[in-house]
Amino acid sequence: MSMIMSNNLGCAALRTLRRICPMTSRQHIASSSTYLSSQSHSLNNTFNNFNNRHITTSTSTSTSTSTYTSSQTRQYSSFRNRQSSNNTTQQQQQQQQQNGNDEDISMDTLTCSAICLSKSFKKELHSLPDNFSLEKVFHVSNVRWLRYNGGEKGGDAFVFPSFGCVISWGIPEDAQRTLLTWLKEYEVEGNQPPQLDSYVYTDGGSRFEITKSREIITLSADPAANLNEKFAVSYAFAQSVRLFLIEDDVIKLSEKVAQLPDELSKHGTVRISKKEIGKQLGEQMKIKNYLNLHSDIIDTPEHFWEHTEGEGIYKIVRSHCEIDKRVRIMNERLNLISGIYDVINDEQKHSHSIRLERIIIALIAIEGTSGILHWFY
């Protein structure tokens, strides 16, 4: 493009000289033409040098930018690879640590069983089974601590006469069956089948701990602290497993009353006798009375008023078993059942009053008719 512009400029200059100096000799014109051609070549060289420098600069700039981008990309990829490698290493270490903890727990764990055999036990327990010895009686709560002397490590059992429950720690199954057979002689209103709840525990920890995810109990290595922790945990477990029986009774009451609202809505009346309603209300009051008045399920046991060192552990396990929440739910259900029976009872009383009014009206009518007939005849 630069060469075309230079040639056009030269031709225009020649035409101008010819118009201005028509008499100029051909030689003069030729020399002028030669001069203009040299100037045109000079301009062409200038344009070419400028274009070459621009292309070289652009190429070098593009090459530098590409090189910088590639370098940054390599650095970012290297950073991502190192970060991914570090994350993988941390995950592997955590997994190995978790596996190691699981292996340690599986090797050292024992079983704690909470069993509810009856409503309660007789207060006096005699003639202990083989390999069991009475270590202590907690007089405030009347709980018996029995020591199992068989096996390699032995075991412990806490008998709660007021709950009809026994909590065993590390006792083998055959010895546990022997203990349950012995306790059957002292049952009051026994349960068939017994209520059972099992936990996993380990000895030798620095302090007491219970994990919610896997329900593993860690007891202290110190013997005195270990015994205190076992007793506090056993008390909460005994309350929890005793609540299972009360929950079963509430469920049975709920099943009996479940069809009554539907029947009342369809037929306007309920086919149930006043005697049956009275029996159901009496059973409900019996459950509420035991739950809220004659047991220490709601309040903190008196034992921990005098031995405060175990109260904190007892409350932790009580919260873990959700005893307060379960008691509240049962009271709400019992109140609902009571409300349904109150409505049915009121409806039956209203029906009975209407029946009496009709009988009275009929008697008055008969008396009036008899008087009229006697007047005329």
pLDDT digits (tens, 9 = 90+) for 261-279: 888 788 777 777 778 888 8
pLDDT single digits (tens) 40-63: 444 445 434 434 444 343 444 434
Q: Sorting pLDDT into bands at 50, 70 and 90, what band is 206?
A: confident
Residue 343 structure tokens: 């409505």
pTM of the shown model: 0.65
E-strand stretches of the chain? 110-121, 132-138, 143-148, 155-160, 165-169, 187-205, 209-210, 216-220
User: Which one is predicted more confidently, 25 or 184?
Assistant: 184
Predicted pLDDT at 85: 52
Region for residue 186 given its phi and psi (left: phi exceeds 0; alpha: psi -120 to 50; beta: otherwise) = alpha
CA distance 114 to 282: 30
CA distance 211 to 107: 17
Give the mean pLDDT of 148-159: 89
User: Which one is predicted more confidently, 376 or 241?
Assistant: 241
> Is the alpha carbon torsion for 313, 316, 320, 321 positive or negative?
positive
CA distance 44 to 37: 10
Q: Is beta strand 155-160 parallel, antiparallel or unpaired with respect to 143-148?
A: antiparallel
DSSP class per residue in 245-289 = HHHHHHHHHHHHHTTHHHHHHHHSS----HHHHHHHHHHHHHHHH
User: Which one is predicted more confidently, 74 or 361?
Assistant: 361
Mean pLDDT of the chain: 75
Predicted pLDDT at 91: 57
> Is the alpha carbon torsion for 204, 210, 211, 217 positive or negative?
positive
Q: Do residues 156 and 170 touch, judged by C-beta distance below 8 A?
A: yes
Q: Do residues 140 and 213 touch, judged by C-beta distance below 8 A?
A: no
Query: How would you list the strands of the sheet with 143-148, edge to edge?
Result: 132-138, 143-148, 155-160, 165-169, 110-121, 187-205, 216-220, 209-210
Amino acid at 85: S
Q: Residue 147's closest CA among 161, 163, 168? A: 168
Q: Sorting pLDDT into bands at 50, 70 and 90, what band is 314?
A: very high
CA distance 242 to 196: 10
Burial label for 75, CB within 10 Å (0-12, 13-18, 19+), is exposed
